[in-house]
Chain A
Amino acid sequence: MLRNAIAPALLAAGLLLTAGSAQAQCKSFAKNKCVPGLAPYKFNETFNGAQLSPGDEAEVALTFYSGQEYRVMVCVHQILGEVNWKLVDQNNRTVFESLADEPKPSFDFKAASTTQMKVVVWVPERKSEMTHLGCVAIMVGFKE
């Protein structure tokens, strides 16, 4: 019985020890694979990303300033496949939506007024025995 209790704990301890490494890999992935996709917009230097698995959801609150042009991009590691994401305003109305069946990697716009919006990402459930965990990065670029 003790062995039964220790085995999952040791496995989980291993997972914890590798969590930092996974996060580092996620940031490296974002830096190397996602930042170039923001060009010609300038990356806003803020990393919003996490390791997600099917069924998971993430959201980021973002402020967009009037007079600036922006690119919002959701960048996903291929192991996860395509994800759904949308940009919603403070009244929870959808401003832009990209669905896994018809993905659009980024949304460009000009902010006529300063506003706060949320990017909501959700990973579709898959019919698979394997639970994949992959990096999802929500990136913002702006034009000076």
Chain B
Amino acid sequence: MLHPRKLLLPALVLLLAACGGGEQPKDTLQNPDADSLAQSERQSRTKKIFYSIPSPMETAALLKKAGASYNSKILNDVKNVDTYTAASKQALNLGVYGADLSYASVFNHTQESIFYTSCARRLADKLGVTSAFSDSTMQLMEQYQNDREKLLDIISETYWDMDRYLKVNDRENISALMIAGGWVEGLYIATQVARTNPSAELKQRIAEQKLSLTDLVSLLDTYGEDETLQGVRTDLKALSALYTDVQAGGGGVTATQENGITVLGAEGGAATVTDAQLKAITEKAAAIRNSYIN
């Protein structure tokens, strides 16, 4: 019996030949899988290896737990939403507004959450990801605007649906840009809050982002030479260079039992960042983020 995977390559070649084709616009982020054999190789390579990047909601919850305060002035202006005409900018800012939405929601700023949801929806519409943001999503958000838990659930569900839609419809490069935009915005918010409130816990959380940054770069690397992701990859590698000497914890794990709960500790100790490292990361994160939103 022929294993299905053995049939994939000839089928792909057949499909590619059938597609033929004129020149694709440079920045449309249409289905890339139809025009590149490298894409099929990426898919087979990544089929079984995943990089899990913390969602904007998880990052916002960590910030709150670290004692961060809410500052609406540092978020992306909702008026910017109509200035994003290139698909890559729309995808990046879908992530940026998604992170702003999570930040506002976790800190219980409902009205702003609804504004940011509207922005995310507009960008999703422009990118053709309409199914994640139905009218009922907006109605539900308004209906539950005073119920924080319910609101967070609706936002989580929407993020999940959007990511699902993108991946299922072979638009994973949009998903990757959205994830990158959201991650950069999360780091930007954390570093901006730390400028006025440089608590030890917040600095530790910023140092720990070295781990997720490494995963994010690995995720983008799985896309090979995808042109739409090159700029973001360069940005993140520059940021990664600033993290080189940051102590991010990690390492081997030891397990103990406390009151019936398994407690895992890392042998690498707590993450730390020096003031000079933090300053450099703060400046770089701001420069990258501002280049995405402007």
Contacts and interface: CB of A to CB of B under 8 A. Distances in A.
A23 B168 contact: yes
Contact of B264 (A46, A91, A95): A95
Contacts of B251: 89-91, 115
B265 A46 contact: no
Contacts of B10: 5, 8-9, 12
A99 interface: no
Contact of A116 (B49, B61, B164, B211): B211
A15 B4 contact: yes
Contacts of B250: 90, 114-116
Nearest to A57: B48
Interface residues of A, number: 60
B51 A66 contact: no
Given A16-B15, A24-B168, A65 B208 contact: yes
B253 A115 contact: yes
B196 interface: no
B265 A113 contact: yes
A3 to B, nearest CB: 14
B52 interface: yes
Nearest to A91: B252
Contacts of A114: 204, 208, 211, 248-250, 266, 270-271
A12 B261 contact: no
Contacts, number: 176
Interface residues of B, number: 60
Given A15-B8, A63-B212, A44 B48 contact: no
A44 B253 contact: no
Given A9-B7, A46-B52, A113-B270, A108 B57 contact: no
A62 B219 CA distance: 13
Contacts of B264: 64, 95, 109-113, 115
Contacts of B265: 112-113
Interface string A1-44: 00001001111110110001001100100010000000000111
Given A67-B65, A95-B264, A45 B48 contact: no
Contacts of B14: 9-10, 12-13
Interface of A: 5, 8-13, 15-16, 20, 23-24, 27, 31, 42-48, 50, 52, 56-69, 89-91, 93, 95, 107-117, 129, 131, 133, 138, 140, 142, 144
